[in-house]
Amino acid sequence: MRKIREEQDRVRGGNLERPITLEDLDEMPYLRAMVKETLRVKPPVTMVPYKTTKAFPISDDYTVFPDPDAFKPERWLDENSSANQNPRNYLVFGSGPHKCIGLEYAMMNIAIVIADAAAMCEWEHEVTEESEKVAIIATLFPKDGCRLRFSPRQARA
Ligand code: HEM
């Protein structure tokens, strides 16, 4: 949250009334990395009925994502990281000819909602025993429904 806000305050200079543009998003690599990482850690589409038609070996020492359970937006910021060197390992939107056509649209929408909510609001998360548990109701939800309270925040120019 601190890094998201630093980036928002830097790029938008405290002017939160002006809508975020495509060019602004280009200046917000941390925000985009955070969205990508959030979707990796909790992929919303869990039931893609893939079927392997031939053997698909992954060797014992092959690491798809290092430190897979850690939430690390930074893994997307280094273009030489193994995450970026192997783009097909990111299966959140599928892969191949039927890859999601809404990918860019979805990622941009999530980014601007989070950007505005981070820049304009204080967030208070009431953590419960169910917060880290996942409920699958077609897509993923925190089991406790996500108990968040938002209040106005002063932007820092
Ligand atoms: C976070 C949001 C989204 C996620 C995680 C997601 C994920 C996926 C996945 C996993 C697939 C299957 C890909 C495959 O079979 O290889 C898919 C396909 C598809 N998605 Fe999305 N999607 C999202 C948002 C959207 C949006 C916003 C739209 C439309 C505006 C959309 C339209 C489609 C369509 C039309 C397909 C079928 C593509 C085809 O079969 O050729 N998706 N999506």
The per-residue pLDDT for range 24-37, each reduced to its tens digit, is 999 999 999 999 99
Mean pLDDT of 91-104: 91
Q: For residue 97, which atom of ligand 1 is closest to its CA?
A: 41
- Our answer on whether the CB atom of 106 is closer than 6 Å to any ligand 1 atom is yes
Q: Cβ–Cβ contacts within 10 Å for residue 126, how many?
A: 10
Average pLDDT, the chain: 90
Q: Could you give the 3-state DSSP secondary structure of residue 25?
A: helix
- Residue 59's pLDDT band (cuts 50, 70, 90): confident
Name the residue with higher pLDDT: 101 or 139. Answer: 101
Mean pLDDT (whole number) for 122-142? 93
Ligand 1 atom closest to 96 (CA): 16
